[in-house]
């Protein structure tokens, strides 16, 4: 009996800051970036726990985006996504994502004895980073052509 899979993106932790929090978050991000700040977590009994640098880096990155008014999702990079979830995450159509998977632009794995496949979030993020680098390169070429008054 197959158990229906709940949507990974629907169950991801999503955090949004309201306008009152944004100033504090911006201050936190600036303070932590300016100095190798440490953060403490105070338990109910008053015990302080110093957070490890990896968690501080994550919190600072989240604070940066929250301060700008962006929502932040928290998902492990080894999360497996369906092609529909990949499409939703990238803002692309599912058929276009299926073509990217078929062409190997984004690695995927078929489920055993199935035509369904899953994609690692880390592979989606790497694809998106490549896509953004290519777009930036194209933008720079167009700017250089315009500055040199070349047709494009």
Length of the chain in terms of residues written: 152
The pLDDT value recorded for residue 111 is 93
Residues 6+ apart with CB under 8 A from 64: 25, 29
The pLDDT value recorded for residue 57 is 84
pLDDT tens, residue by residue, 15-53: 888 877 878 877 777 776 666 677 889 999 999 999 898
The token duo for 87 is: 């499409």
H-assigned helices in 69-120: 83-90, 94-102
The pLDDT value recorded for residue 56 is 84
The pLDDT value recorded for residue 34 is 61
The pLDDT value recorded for residue 152 is 61
Ranges in the chain, pLDDT < 70: 1-6, 32-36, 152
The pLDDT value recorded for residue 50 is 92
- Residues 42, 63: Cα–Cα separation, whole Å: 19
The pLDDT value recorded for residue 3 is 44
Q: Is 36 helix (H, G, I), strand (E, B) or coil?
A: coil
Residues 6+ apart with CB under 8 A from 58: none
The token duo for 51 is: 């957070």
Cα–Cα nearest to 124, from 73, 99, 87, 72: 87
The pLDDT value recorded for residue 1 is 44
The pLDDT value recorded for residue 5 is 56
- Residues 137, 21: Cα–Cα separation, whole Å: 36
Q: Is 28 helix (H, G, I), strand (E, B) or coil?
A: helix
Tell me how crowded residue 84 is: count the other CB atoms within 10 A of its CB: 13
The pLDDT value recorded for residue 54 is 86
Longest dimension (CA), the chain: 69
The pLDDT value recorded for residue 33 is 66
For the chain, strand residue ranges (E) read: 13-15, 40-42, 48-50, 72-74, 80-81, 109-110, 117-120
């Amino acid at each position: 009996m197959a158990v229906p899979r709940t949507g990974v993106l629907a169950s991801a932790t999503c955090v949004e800051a309201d306008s009152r929090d944004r100033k504090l978050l911006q201050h936190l991000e600036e303070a932590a970036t300016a100095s190798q700040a440490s953060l403490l977590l105070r338990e109910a009994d008053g015990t302080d726990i110093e957070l490890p640098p990896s968690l501080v880096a994550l919190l600072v990155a989240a604070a940066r985006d929250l301060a700008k008014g962006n929502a932040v999702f928290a998902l492990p990079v080894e999360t497996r996504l369906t092609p529909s979830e990949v499409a939703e995450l990238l803002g692309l159509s599912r058929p276009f994502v299926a073509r990217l998977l078929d062409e190997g632009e984004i690695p995927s794995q078929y489920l055993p004895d199935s035509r369904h496949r899953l994609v690692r979030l880390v592979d989606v993020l790497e694809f998106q980073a490549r896509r953004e680098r290519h777009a930036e390169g194209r933008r720079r070429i167009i700017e250089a052509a315009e500055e040199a008054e070349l047709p494009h």
